[in-house]
Amino acid sequence: MHRKIIHMDMDAFYASVEQLDKPSLGKKPVIVGGITGRGVVCAASYEARKFGVRSAMPMKIAREKCPHGVYLEPRMGRYKEISNMIMEILQEYTDLIEPLSLDEAYLDVTENKKGLPYASIVAREAKKKIRQETGLTASAGAGPSKFIAKLASDHDKPDGIVVVPPEKVWSFISGMEVGKIPGVGLATESRLREMGIFKIKDLAEYPVEKLHDRLGKHGLFLSGLARGVDERPVYSHREIKSIGEETTFDRDLLLKEEIVPILSDLAGEVERRLIKNGKKGRTVTLKVKTGDFRNSTRSRTLPDPVFQRSELLSIVNGLIPKTSIGRERVRLVGITVSNFFKPAAYEQLRLFD
């Protein structure tokens, strides 16, 4: 029996909450993120997206694209309050819920509490109830795996629902750009394009051995996804222990001056994900892989938790002299934050306020 997996994704969640709480913002471009220093966009309303503002974009660029936008600091306490309401609604249908962040989750509804025969019915009912109880819209995708459900939810936003039955998987994914695959960032997409892989069908047809040689285990995983193979279960008690980003260069880099701007971009993406997940961490780790494939990590544990891009980059710059950067050719760098801060209940609402 094929599984029935739903990916439920709130539409422009943080920005939508702000518009909900402040009706005067209803039709205005709203951008939520770190509004000082070198912050990044955490969420942009659909009005802001019309001007080219996107999640993870440096705030400086967002202001250039949309100077008349309304720029707001995240209110994590409020977002968590709404998120809890949404998760309670989803729990009416199944206990197999894997939250990915405050605004999205996977659900396994192969067997559901209400005995509904189709994932499409579950998704439609859940979306309707979320809107009734919170005033917010969600996009839902349903399919036989996490991978397909995620692609489906992205396919019709906002407030959409897309169902991909097992027999329609190949026709649904084969013509998509490889960059649509979750986990394929700009660096990986660039490498795949260099290999002549532009569409998911190209990836599915590419020799598995060559993919492994070029991309390692990640290449094998991507090959499986491209062929519709994804057996990952929905983990109902998944706990995020670290958040990180890394990138592999198109060519090995020697100069520190070439690498630091890339680390700055990674720090910005880590900041965005930390804010999205409501996390701060005390340990920052810099990962470096040299041209001859030697991995090394250097970490610093702090007395107080951090999450901002500027803080992360400052710590990473202090770790660079302890690595091969500037002395050997480097093919990969990464930044990870862990040792998450666990505030008392009364402190939780003020974590990012």
pLDDT digits over 170-185, tens only?
Answer: 999 999 999 999 888 8
pLDDT of residue 168: 96
Closest CA to 352 of 24, 28, 39, 21: 39
* Amino acid at residue number 342: K
Same domain? 178 vs 155:
no
Distance of CA 19 to the CA centre of its chain: 22
pTM of the model: 0.75
The two tokens of residue 316 are 């990473």
Higher pLDDT, 343 or 98: 98
Same domain? 256 vs 333:
yes
Q: How far apart are CA 174 and CA 261, in angstroms?
A: 35
Q: How far apart are CA 50 and CA 19, in angstroms?
A: 16
Q: Exposed, middle or buried, 14 (CB in 10 Å: 0-12/13-18/19+)?
A: buried
Question: Which structural domain range is residue 303 located in?
Answer: 242-348
pLDDT at 347 over 60: no
Closest CA to 305 of 334, 333, 275: 275
Same domain? 120 vs 54:
no
Q: Helices then strands (H, E): number in the chain?
A: 14, 12
Report the share of the chain in percent with pLDDT over 90. 73
Distances, alpha carbon 292 to alpha carbons 176, 250, 327, in Å: 34, 15, 13
**Residue 152 near residue 164 (C-beta atoms within 8 A):** yes
Q: Which of 155, 170, 185 is the last residue of a domain?
A: 170
3 state DSSP class of 162: strand
104 is catalytic: yes
Report the share of the chain in percent with pLDDT over 70. 95
pLDDT digits over 264-296, tens only?
Answer: 999 998 998 888 778 899 999 999 999 888 889
Residues 6+ apart with CB under 8 A from 161: 120, 123, 124, 127, 139, 140, 141, 142
Same domain? 274 vs 319:
yes
Residue 92: inside a domain, yes or no?
A: yes
pLDDT digits over 42-98, tens only?
Answer: 899 999 999 999 988 888 899 999 999 999 999 988 999 999 999 999 999 999 999
**Element spanning 287, H or E:** strand 281-290
Q: Where residue 55 sits, what CATH number does that domain have?
A: 3.40.1170.60
Residue 203: inside a domain, yes or no?
A: yes
**Residue 305 near residue 341 (C-beta atoms within 8 A):** yes
Same domain? 162 vs 107:
yes
pLDDT at 142 over 90: yes
Q: Where residue 184 sits, what CATH number does that domain have?
A: 1.10.150.20
pLDDT digits over 307-332, tens only?
Answer: 999 999 999 999 999 999 999 999 99
Report the number of distinct structural domains present in the chain.
Answer: 4
- Among the options 47, 104, 245, 269, which is catalytic? 104
Residue 273: inside a domain, yes or no?
A: yes
Same domain? 32 vs 104:
no
